[in-house]
Amino acid sequence: MNAGQLVSRLTRQSRSNFYYAFLLLPRAQREAMYAVYAFCRIVDDVVDAGGDPDVQRKTLAHWRREIARCFEGVPEEPVTQRLCQAVRAFRIPRAALEEIINGVEMDLDRSSYETWEELYPYCYRVAGAVGLCCIEIFGYADPRARDYAVNLGVALQLTNILRDLGADAQQGRVYLPAEDLRRFGVTPEDLRLGRYTPQFVELMEFEALRARGFYRRAWETLPDADARRLFAAEIMGRIYFALLRAIETRRYRVFDGRIALPVATKLAIALRCWAGARLGAGGRRREVA
């Protein structure tokens, strides 16, 4: 299996919501996105797979060196060989790729956050920095697109946190700020045991509003001139916003099983965003209350 087949397989096997955003891209952009996504998956799996933290840190250090080699044109790993091609074709920032590794490594350093101000850098690194890589591949003219990418990335990460709350708590990780839990009378043990209470619902309503705020800021900063080029980012955003609404509609019953959207729904969103961009509507619909 060559490097291109490897990164494509990693993306397809993940069944990620992102995959549906890639489908309608031109081939060069699609392959670059596959490379970025495969890199993100691999470094994320270094920590998620568990094991000896010292070994995990050494492995992440290896991937940092691979990023350096990527920009020097001499990467060793198949995935970074493909990433190197994407870096040459598009202006993917080295700092953003390094921030992704920094974000993943935060899971080795801490399992909880006291405030939103402490959690934000994590969300920026593991998601906002990914957005900064993506928009270089999609292309943009207005610098506000970078704000759009970061805000959308944080919104997506907050949606992931809400969806995976129970599973993360069982692994000893609580991403919701501790001060928020105290405010609503919810404990980390409640999350670990999946206690669905009125207090938990109030907590989740509060956190969902925070996520909605980042979706709103993203769509407010999406430049009209770049809406057509950024349709794939809009597909990601609209799919994850629909996922957030599904979580809300189910009254935050995230302990009952992983909430997901049907494939048909994802495909419909992808086609609607693509068609809207082609017709000039872009992503300017205001769907956030």
Which pair of structure tokens corresponds to residue 117? 């101000």
Which pair of structure tokens corresponds to residue 125? 């690194």
Q: pLDDT tens across 72-130, in order?
A: 999 999 999 999 999 999 999 999 999 999 999 999 999 999 999 999 999 999 999 99
Close Cβ partners of 275 (under 8 Å, ≥ 6 residues apart): none
Per-residue model confidence (pLDDT) at position 265: 94
Q: Identify the CA nearest to 232 among candidates 32, 41, 4.
A: 32
Burial (0-12, 13-18, 19+ Cβ within 10 Å), 49:
exposed
Distances (CA, A) of 17 to 128, 197, 257, 267: 16, 29, 17, 10
Backbone Cα Rg of the chain:
19
| Distance (Å, whole) CA 108 – CA 56 | 8
Does residue 289 register a pLDDT over 70?
no
| Distance (Å, whole) CA 121 – CA 128 | 9
Does residue 64 register a pLDDT over 60?
yes
The pTM assigned to this predicted structure is 0.91
| Distance (Å, whole) CA 135 – CA 276 | 18
Q: pLDDT tens across 221-256, in order?
A: 999 999 999 999 999 999 999 999 999 999 999 999
Q: CATH 1.10.600.10 in the chain, residues?
A: 1-107, 110-289
- CATH class for the domain made up of 110-289: mainly alpha
Place of tokens 């009952």: 256
Looking at domain 1-107, its CATH superfamily turns out to be: Farnesyl Diphosphate Synthase (1.10.600.10)
The overall average pLDDT reported for the chain is 91
